[in-house]
Structure 1
């Protein structure tokens, strides 16, 4: 770091210190409790991650429905999402496929 940058940092820190001392003095003069104000920086909370549905989970659910006598409907679900077999279906459709499979047999 250059000497000028260091001096500017010192000046900035001194101004911050002076502001803090002024706040304490004002609070003591008014007999008010001192409130420490921390810089307000928004804290981003990570968005809850969706659980990724795997091919094995979809395969298990569809196999269960197929064994329950709903093979034709299972085949229709696979074709609905663009495949002639499950491995040809894009993984982005797995969640929707599971939802469709859940309602099979409940109709």
Structure 2
């Protein structure tokens, strides 16, 4: 592997790690935000009523795919990317992120 390819892979790995850390920080913030249970229940019920579908971002997909790859499903992740017509995640059309994420979540679940 050339030095440039190694550097590119290292950069990709760092971005994946950063996305995973960011997702973990968001989850921790939500869990320990200091709101009492009654406020959380009210905000959850209000959110269900007007729940707009959140946009799936590249970082979200990258974090899930990196987790699956680290769990030993690298070949399945590559096959999934090829299914969407790309050799790497950055080549995938953002309109396909939600479907890709749904397909990725079943990798390794025995389905």
TM-score range, shorter chain: 0.5 to 0.7
Whichever of the two has the greater Rg, that structure is 1
Q: TM-score, normalised on structure 2? A: 0.52
Flag the structure with higher helix content.
Answer: 2
Deviation at 1:48, TM superposition (A): 4.9
Relative contact order (C-alpha < 8 Å, sep 6+): which is higher?
2
Name the counterpart of 1:4.
none
Q: Which runs of 5+ in 2 are unaligned?
A: 1-49
Give 1:53's aligned residue.
56
The structural deviation recorded for 1:50 is 1.7
Q: How many residues are paired up?
A: 61
Unaligned 5+ segments in structure 1 are 1-46
Which deviations, in whole Å up to 9, do the C-alpha atoms of 1:26-85 show, x marking residues without a partner?
A: xxxxxxxxxxxxxxxxxxxxx853210000000000000000000000001111111110
Question: 2:104 is matched with which residue: 72, 95, 101?
Answer: 101
Q: Cα RMSD (Å) of the superposition?
A: 1.2
Scaled by the length of structure 1, the TM-score of the pair is 0.54
Runs of 4+ residues over 2 Å off in structure 1: none
